[in-house]
Amino acid sequence: MTTTARQGGLLIVITIIAAMALTIIPLPESIEHFRPEWVALVIIYWCMALPQRIGVGRAWMTGLLLDVMTGSLLGQHALSMTVVAFLVINLYQRIRLFPLGQQALVIWMMLNLYQLLLLWFDGITGQPPKGLNFWWPPLIGMLFWPAVFLLLRGLRRKYKVQ
Amino acid sequence: MTLDHRQQHMQSLRAGLSLLVAPIEYLVDLPVNLGRWVDESLSSRQSLIEENTRLHAQNLLMQARSLKNADLETENQRLRELLGSSVKVADRVLIAEIYKIDLDPFKHIVRLNKSARHGIYLDQPLLDAHGVMGQIIEIMPLNSTARLITDPGHSIPVQVSRNGLRTIALGSGKINQLDLPYLPNNADIEVGDLLVTSGLGGIYPHGYPVAKVTAIERAPALEFARIKAEPTAHINRSSEVLLVWSGDRIKMMQTQSPATPAESSSTGAPATKGPTQ
């Protein structure tokens, strides 16, 4: 078991890096508000699929890197990511059994929570309010969830990540 | 942790972590750079010659203008000396490039390819060829972050160039709009007025164009007029920007290390000699 437990770590890192790249890739101005939180989606998937490997700690580190990358307060994404990861770790046995559509709804709620935490931090630190556009990313994230899920599951099975 | 960061204790940690994400940023920026490179190497001889002649003509024009400018500058300096004021005109600049990456759609911040190695400092102003763009808010080992003047959390002290009326322009969160909420209804300002930096606040040097007034709404019921202005800088189109050292900063740099003119293409070349106060 200990030999297989380490398998495929590289794939996880690569998917997270790809998600980070998608987070900062330039989009046309008209759709830039609709960019889903790719990193959160990927972290949620790995927490759900491999709760014994990817947990709160990894989520925190990823969030920290995301903070540095997007120039937000250090710890802002990290804490939001941690809370979401904690929820997934607690609920993964249930979420795994849901059909894909229902899963997407749960993910939507989690992404909303993620976004809400980010908003709170912005509020606390005196950033100006952001309007309703701020709530698009969780919705788009929900729509993307089945695709992300199937893609990552395919990759996970192909490379036998455990 | 968040509080810690507000007191700038986490700066070193942030700088260290930024080394980890820098490759990702570079990777995302790469296709654009590559595209530009391919474009450059495949453009035909004819178009290059055309461009060359065009730039040559433009250069000639600029030179003629700058000759006149130099003359005016010295005259201005002399007059100021007569008045006993000590405004420094000469500025030093460094060209930086903006990474083609989106950081946060709700904040107008950009990442530049210049870092502490090039001697840039916190709050350093950022210009493009047409006006003020923003200021440096964070310096990391490989790059730096700048806040644009249209960021909703940014404000810049300006004055109307026509009559010297001073006010503050706030970022609106829209890329082509600044708000001027602090002018009374009877203020002498018109559509089309040019706003320039007033030099107050000590961050932006005096006299660079910031924005043009586009709309004024004087509602008698309200205390202040609602004024909108459009930045003169091509904020979402410029990929190359200028970092400016003004007056005191140049002196500081020279005293610190006399041999750091990395790639300074000092624009005000003829008049860079330090003004005697």
- Number of independent structural domains in chain A: 1
Helical residues (DSSP H) of A6-135, grouped into ranges: 9-24, 38-49, 56-70, 76-95, 100-124
State the average pLDDT for chain B.
Answer: 79
d(CA B243, CA B186): 37
Can you tell me the distance from the alpha carbon of A50 to that of B67, in angstroms, rounded to the nearest whole number? 69
| Cβ contact, residue pair B100, A26, below 8 Å | yes
Q: Residue ranges of the domains in chain B?
A: 1-42+86-149+238-277, 155-231
Residue B65's alpha-carbon distances to B60, B93, B275, in angstroms, are 9, 19, 22
Of all residues in chain B, what percent carry a pLDDT higher than 70? Answer: 82
Residue A2's pLDDT is 45
Residues A81 and A111: their CA atoms lie apart, in Å, by 10
3-state secondary structure of B125: strand
CATH number of B1-42+86-149+238-277: 2.40.10.340
| Chain B, nearest residue to A76 by Cα | B2
Distance from the A142 Cα atom to the nearest Cα atom in chain B, whole angstroms = 19
Contact B56, B206 (CB under 8 A): no
| pLDDT tens track for B114-173 | 888 888 888 888 888 888 899 998 888 888 889 999 888 889 999 998 888 899 999 888
| Cα B58 from Cα A118, distance rounded (Å) | 49
User: pLDDT tens-digit profile of B227-263?
Assistant: 999 999 888 777 888 888 876 666 666 565 544 444 4
Alpha carbons B112 and B114: distance in angstroms, whole number: 6
pLDDT at B8: 61
In a domain, A121, yes or no: yes
Contact A24 B2 (CB under 8 A): no
Whether residue B264 has pLDDT greater than 50: no
To the nearest whole angstrom, how far is the Cα of A99 from the nearest Cα of chain B?
Answer: 33
A47 belongs to a structural domain: yes
Examine the pLDDT at A77 and tell me if it is beyond 80.
yes
Interface size, chain A vs chain B, as Cβ–Cβ contacts under 8 Å: 83
**What per-residue confidence (pLDDT) applies to B213?**
93
CATH classification of B155-231, choosing from 3.30.300.10, 3.40.50.2300, 3.20.10.10, 2.40.10.350? 2.40.10.350
Q: Does residue A54 fall inside a structural domain? A: yes
Predicted complex ipTM: 0.72
pTM above 0.80, yes or no: no
| CA separation for the pair B197, B204 (Å, rounded) | 7
Mean pLDDT of all residues in B266-276: 37
Average pLDDT for residues A119-127, to the nearest whole number? 81
Q: Is residue A4 part of a domain?
A: no
Containing structural domain, residue A82: 35-158
Residue A26's pLDDT is 80
pLDDT computed for residue A38 by the predictor: 92
Average pLDDT for A5-9: 68
In a domain, A66, yes or no: yes
Q: Could you tell me if residue A2 is inside a domain?
A: no
Q: Tell me whether B107 touches chain A (CB under 8 Å).
A: yes
| B189 secondary structure, DSSP code | -
Q: With contacts defined as CB-CB under 8 Å, which chain A residues touch B4?
A: 74
